């Protein structure tokens, strides 16, 4: 029977999969292997000597340099500090927003607020950086005006290390809190309606409702937020690059911004590749954890 229909063989799925797999291999895996090779070479394309030597193999030199490079560690530490600054804020605000959007009443306003969450998420990251530069401008920025209304002295946000760091934190919180809120909202809508209604009859306290009924449904979302946000922070480039270029000094030199500079301003592609590979290892660990936690049911 099957023989009459050539499309039903054991190999059928592979025909359907092949184009995507080949494409992703060619543009994802092959360049990665090339990056590993590059990371073992002295590969500065602006140094004539390197080119004349045919970009010689130097073994683990680039990795040694990356590990002993204080700036690299500083920027990883800064990325960690950035994560610890934005994510707790996003979680607290996200839960608050999700609870407000979940609570019955004000149907139309609730729908509008819900749709508005999409706006920051869709805004081009580079444009977020541009808006940030305007809002946090020393002379005519609206951030200083807001502070003025609360009688707080204005400051040159992007001109000093602390201010610049706060400014990129604010813009990231603006852009990604809606994402966190939507994840928690999805969690809240998983609470069975009967249970939630029974609980509402039982208690007037929203706190008790949150603590004993809703919290268990928020926890899976929390893990998703922690893992996805950490990989996103490791990837964060556009907004920071546009807003501060990593400065002033190294105050906002997050890891992706730093590696980009080593690669495309200094053109030390060997060292930059080694750093990028280290970053990749970190990301693979993260994504393995992510998959372990969330896709267990498929396995």
- The residues in 66-125 that bind other proteins, with binding defined as CB under 8 A, are 96-97, 100-101, 103, 105-106, 109-110, 112-125
Q: CA 121 to CA 118: how far, in whole Å?
A: 5
Q: Can residue 54 be called a binding residue for other proteins (CB under 8 A)?
A: no
Two tokens, residue 234? 């490791």
Among 7, 48, 70, 153, binds other proteins (CB under 8 A): 7
Among 179, 191, 213, 246, binds other proteins (CB under 8 A): 179
Among 213, 228, 252, 253, binds other proteins (CB under 8 A): 228
**CB burial of residue 46 (10 Å; 0-12, 13-18, 19+):** exposed
Among 60, 77, 84, 284, binds other proteins (CB under 8 A): 284
Footprint on residues 143-162 left by other proteins (CB under 8 A): 144-145, 148
Q: Please name the residue that has the structure tokens 């760091």.
A: 165
Q: Residue 294 Cβ, how far from other proteins at the closest point, in Å?
A: 4
Residue 28 or residue 59: which is nearer to other proteins going by CB? 28
Quickly list DSSP for 62-112. HHHHHHH-HHHHHHHHHHHHHHHHHHHHHHHHHHHHHHHHHSSS-HHHHHH
Q: CA 236 to CA 255: how far, in whole Å?
A: 8
Counting residues that bind other proteins (by CB under 8 A) gives 109
Binding pattern to other proteins, positions 18-47, x when CB under 8 A? -xxx-xx--xx-xxx-xx--x---------
Q: CA 164 to CA 168: how far, in whole Å?
A: 6
Footprint on residues 193-222 left by other proteins (CB under 8 A): 204, 220-221
Positive or negative CA dihedral for 192, 94, 76, 272?
positive
Among 61, 160, 250, 290, binds other proteins (CB under 8 A): 290
Region of 66-74, 138-146, 191-199, 208-216 interacting with other proteins (CB under 8 A) = 138-146
Residue 167: CB atoms within 10 A of its CB come to: 22
Q: Residue 68 Cβ, how far from other proteins at the closest point, in Å?
A: 20
- SS3 for 268? strand
């Amino acid at each position: 029977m099957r023989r009459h229909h050539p499309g039903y063989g054991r190999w059928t799925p592979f025909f359907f999969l092949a184009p995507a797999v080949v494409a992703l291999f060619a543009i994802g895996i092959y360049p990665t292997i090339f990056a590993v090779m590059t990371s073992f070479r002295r590969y500065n394309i602006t140094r004539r000597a390197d080119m004349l030597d045919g970009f010689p193999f130097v073994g683990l030199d680039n990795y040694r340099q990356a590990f002993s490079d204080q700036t690299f560690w500083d920027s990883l530490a800064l990325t960690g500090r950035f994560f610890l600054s934005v994510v707790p804020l996003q979680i607290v605000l996200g839960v608050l927003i999700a609870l407000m959007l979940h609570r019955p009443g004000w149907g139309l306003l609730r729908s509008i607020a819900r749709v508005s969450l999409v706006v920051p998420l869709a805004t081009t990251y580079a444009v977020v950086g541009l808006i940030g530069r305007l809002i946090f401008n020393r002379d005519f920025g609206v951030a200083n005006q807001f502070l003025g209304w609360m009688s707080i002295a204005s400051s040159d946000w992007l001109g000093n290390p602390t201010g610049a760091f706060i400014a990129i934190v604010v813009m990231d919180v603006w852009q990604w809190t809606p994402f966190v809120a939507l994840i928690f909202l999805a969690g809240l809508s998983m609470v069975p309606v009967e249970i939630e209604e029974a609980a509402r009859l039982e208690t007037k306290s929203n706190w008790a409702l949150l603590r004993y009924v809703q919290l268990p449904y928020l926890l899976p979302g929390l893990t998703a937020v922690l893992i996805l946000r950490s990989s996103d922070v490791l990837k964060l480039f556009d907004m920071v690059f546009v807003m501060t270029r990593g400065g002033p000094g190294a105050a906002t030199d997050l890891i992706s911004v730093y590696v980009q500079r080593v690669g495309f301003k200094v053109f030390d592609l060997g060292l930059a590749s080694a750093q990028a590979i280290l970053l990749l290892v970190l990301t693979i660990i993260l994504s393995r954890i992510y998959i372990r936690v969330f896709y267990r049911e498929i396995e």
